[in-house]
Amino acid sequence: MDRFNDLALCVYECKRQDGSADDVLNLYCALVIVRSSMVGQEKDPFTETSILELFNIVSGGKVYGFRVGPAIFNQGKPAIPARLIGDTLDRLLTMGDELSAYDWTKEFLCIHPGQDYNGRVAWILYNLKNGTINDLVPLPRFEFN
């Protein structure tokens, strides 16, 4: 783990997602918390509750639940209707290792469970799924049809 590289990647992810300096700090704190909570765990801690907690940390305490209204993400694609988030996210969580980290994260972004902070949360989840949480890589660019 290289703390300078970790912070630089937090800056990079926030900058490409129009985040502020506070967002960088919140993302870095979330990263530290996720890493410390994984000590001794063999599996990724993906549950609906843990993802909501991650949104709360990354947002600096501004997000307490999944979005309740419509959302369109940066490539102009509409996200699934808010009423389907719970069931669709549950199905994704049960897929476990059936999907690559890339495909899993792309599906997560299509669900777009948060009103904001989806990309930053996805970056941490991607690194968890990819096995690179202690040697971070940037979030890949995704093409959405």
Confidence of residue 95 (pLDDT cuts 50, 70, 90): confident
Confidence of residue 125 (pLDDT cuts 50, 70, 90): very high
Cα–Cα distance for residue pair 102/93, rounded to 1 Å: 14
Confidence of residue 93 (pLDDT cuts 50, 70, 90): very high
pLDDT at 90: 94
**What element of type H or E holds 53?**
helix 48-58
* CATH number, domain 3-130, options 3.40.50.1820, 3.40.30.10, 1.10.3290.10, 3.30.930.10: 1.10.3290.10
pTM for the predicted model, two decimal places: 0.90
Look at residues 104, 3, 114 and name the one whose alpha carbon lies nearest to residue 46.
104
Evaluate whether 122 touches 109 at the Cβ level (below 8 Å): yes
pLDDT tops 70 at residue 129: yes
> What average pLDDT does this structure show over 13-27?
92
* β-sheet bridge partners, residue 78: 72
Domain range summary for the chain, segments of one domain joined by +: 3-130
Give me the phi and psi of 72, to 5 degrees please: -125, 130
Work out the mean pLDDT of the chain and round it to a whole number.
89
Cα–Cα distance for residue pair 73/78, rounded to 1 Å: 6
Confidence of residue 60 (pLDDT cuts 50, 70, 90): very high
Dmax (CA) for the chain in angstroms is 40
pLDDT at 37: 83
